[in-house]
Amino acid sequence: MLTIYFAAAALSPSITSASKAVKYSVSSYGAKPDDKTDSTNAFLTAWNKACSSPSPSTVYVPAGRFYLKNVAFQGPCKTKSIMFRIDGTLVAPSDYSVIAKVGNWILFRHVNGVIVSGGTLDGQGASLWSLIFVCCQNLEFSNSQNVQINGLTSVNSQLFHIVINGCQNVKVKGVKVTAAGHSPNTDGIHVQSSAGVTILNSRIGTGDDCISIGPGTTNLWIENIACGPGHGISIGSLGKQLHEAGVQNVTVKTVTFTGTQNGLRIKSWGRPSTGFARGILFQHAVMNNVQNPIVIDQNYCPGQKGCPGQASGVKVSDVTYQDVHGSSRTEVAVKFACSKSNPCTGIRLDGVKLTYENQAADSSCQNADGTASGVVQPSSCL
């Protein structure tokens, strides 16, 4: 069931003398927890009431399954403190045509000081994954700041589950993301064009990247993540555009990958670009039967269209892998396939131990330069 809070209490609009927080229940505006009544307008009404209040506000969604079409919660708001608390489940349309022309199912845009807490988002995407064109992302924050997402569960998104785009100071904590291992483009959390994002204590299993990191991401901290199934934690793909913002100051630590396609990955298109990835720390990672535990791939060219034979312009530098251990599903556990025109530099391996079928794995390097220290297995090819 979904409950939406804006930092306060009460089931109908009221102001408490102690906290002066105004609380709005979507049920007061006609929302029905019956899994079929369109509650979109009720949610928007509750949001607009809260957003226009000068006091800290709460939007409350009581227990049950609330059916919503695409909805945009628009700011800026008068208040700088809104809690959107979810105690139940929000349910997306299973009919693709209902929201096909919109890129998002639930969107927060130009907001400041919003907390989304608890509940479940059910994207009902399973019946749509086989379609060529699918919409939509379960949840997106766009051009917003001072945002928190706490204890949210996202299941079966049609596309990406949680997107953070053009935001500053965002904290994601204790989320659970679930989709089938064969589901396409269902990235768990995607961050792009954002600064000061923290992702903590979360479990993510999808058919694509558990966490994907796009151009323009800076000062990103990821810690205590369980990933699998999925494609791992990926910086990229980068370099799709000629003129593109870079990625820098990223820390990924205390992560466990189980049965994933990749572990710690950086990938870029094999084509000219001004993009870059630098100042990256991968630390304390466990690989359990991972196909490609450590990989830099600068020859990404899906369908061999628009980039065959070209070299990536993305510059990858200052990347550290520290205390990475576990098992690889393939013989080559460490693979650095860097750009011939922009070789990877400043790659550091420190305390890496990866095995293949209980034996030492292999490593492969192309156009990569760096150092190794401590126990490094497979032997470094840098």
CA dist., res. 263 & res. 48, Å (int): 42
Q: Give which of 110, 106, 112, 113 is closest to 86, Cα–Cα.
A: 106
Residues 217/197, Cβ–Cβ less than 8 Å: yes
Peptide bond between residue 308 and the one before it cis (omega within 30 degrees of 0): no
Beta carbons within 8 Å of 98's beta carbon, 6+ residues apart: 69
Start-to-end CA distance of the chain, whole Å, equals 52
Q: Give which of 297, 291, 283, 281 is closest to 336, Cα–Cα.
A: 297
CA dist., res. 75 & res. 53, Å (int): 12
CA dist., res. 298 & res. 295, Å (int): 10
Q: How many residues does the chain have?
A: 382
Would residue 161 show up in a list of annotated catalytic residues for this protein?
A: no
Catalytic residue among 110, 161, 182, 231: 231
| CA-only gyration radius of the chain, Å | 22
Identify the bridge partners of residue 130 per DSSP, sorted by sequence position.
none
Beta carbons within 8 Å of 357's beta carbon, 6+ residues apart: none
Kindly tell me the burial class for residue 113, based on how many C-beta atoms sit within 10 Å of its own C-beta (0-12, 13-18, 19 or more): buried
Write the Ramachandran bin of 288: left for phi over 0, alpha for psi from -120 to 50, otherwise beta.
Answer: beta
The two beta strands, 218-227 and 71-74, are unpaired
Catalytic residues: 231
